[in-house]
Structure 1
């Protein structure tokens, strides 16, 4: 293909314009006005023009599934019918495989679950059935594991409570059943322990009432029952002790009124 470029004298934008004299569609599509140089053209190296071409002529997409230009293959993949997609699962360009990750049937997704490209695997983790998600729980990339943690059934999150990444564990702390939060009570990340203190069953809060971080103890004081609050009245942090005393007095008064 011989290519030239047109540019508006008042603009820095260049519009790729293919040489229609050598185009195979010169006497058909061009003559019929269904392709347009600089706007709707499959041979120009312009993603926008290629996409516009396939929107009008989706039936031509299979002709470009093996095109040397990666972007032409990737755009063609958006318009291919399902029965033309499988050969592209091993396409050398990640942009093509990213399109496939969105389009292929669910029962093909595991074939891309170990793809070298993170974005491909993220899409797979976002689409896989819940029954297969655990197969990606050991993915080397934290973002993929975060997607797994967001979608796994809450009762199956145990294997991720000690994940090396804070974002993954934070997601687990927000979703794991409250009765299991004790497994994360000693997490090394303060923000995660705060989430644990906010969600943990009230009867289990005692295990966090001596946490080294005052903000965690503060969360405990906001939810604790009178017996535990009484133990926190002399907390080393003024905010925690004030909150514990204020709630202890209020709960004690409520109990007294209820007894009258």
Structure 2
């Protein structure tokens, strides 16, 4: 039985007939090949290969009824033909057009209905232009913004409903914001705060409910604040605290009298 990938079918499932193709001359010139490089084929890889071989023909296909053809043609066609594709029904077409257009034309895609388009738009714009997207309904869009935007602009995401977004904020925000985030309900966020707070400020987290937070505190807190953690209910926390205190005692004994 012949598998689908071994067949030459167009986007409507019909067998491809090279004899009736408008590009018959390309075949003679080895600029297309059935089941390998063909604009009529329904497989994106074969369409892509066709336009790689014949980029000069892309302008003729930005209005093709098959979205894969439009999307791949958008990679090669004249940029002057691309603005209408920002309104295409298929997100892949919109994105391939957007990636080649100036920023002033793609800003409206910040509100695109498809999350993948919005995520990719984030990669193309910066800081002030990202602020309106910080309230995006999709958490991953907000997460990508949190990873990219200038740390001084992260304020609106401090109380984001998604803990992973707040965790990235804790990793990147200015250090003088961290105490204000120390009561976050997610342990993962508090762990990141414990990793970055100045040692003298870690006493705020010394009694944290999560042992992982207390472990980070025990590893970094000022030695004069370490004592209570030597009797922590968690063995790893106790060992870290006692190890640091033991090291302090040994150094004190080694000092010349």
- Cα deviation code 1:25-79 (max 9, x no counterpart): 23x3344442323322222323222222211211211111111111111111111
Compared CA separation, residues 81 and 236, structure 1 to 2 (3 A): same
Q: Confirm or deny that 1:119 pairs with 2:116.
A: yes
Comparing 133-142 with 236-245, greater Cα deviation is found at 236-245
Superposed counterparts of 1:46-65, under 5 Å: 46-65=43-62
Unaligned 5+ runs, structure 1: 1-8
Match of 2:214 in 1: 217
Q: Confirm or deny that 1:191 pairs with 2:183.
A: no
Distance, in Å, in 2 between the alignment partners of 1:192 and 1:247 is 25
- Cα deviation code 1:160-199 (max 9, x no counterpart): 1111112211111111122211122111111221111111
Compared CA separation, residues 156 and 13, structure 1 to 2 (3 A): closer
Compared CA separation, residues 258 and 195, structure 1 to 2 (3 A): farther
Contact kept, 8 Å, 1:163 with 1:169, in 2: the verdict is yes
Q: What number of residue pairs does the alignment pair up? A: 251
Q: Confirm or deny that 1:20 pairs with 2:11.
A: no
Comparing 106-115 with 232-241, greater Cα deviation is found at 232-241
For the aligned residues, what is the CA RMSD? Answer: 2.2
TM-score if structure 2 supplies the norm length? 0.88
Q: Which runs of 4+ in 1 moved over 6 A?
A: none
Kindly state the Cα deviation for residue 98 of structure 1 after the two structures are TM-superposed: 2.4
Compared CA separation, residues 159 and 252, structure 1 to 2 (3 A): farther
Secondary structure in 1 aligned to 2:99? helix
Superposed counterparts of 1:5-84, under 5 Å: 13-16=5-8, 18-26=16-24, 28-84=25-81
Kindly state the Cα deviation for residue 248 of structure 1 after the two structures are TM-superposed: 2.7
Kindly state the Cα deviation for residue 102 of structure 1 after the two structures are TM-superposed: 2.8
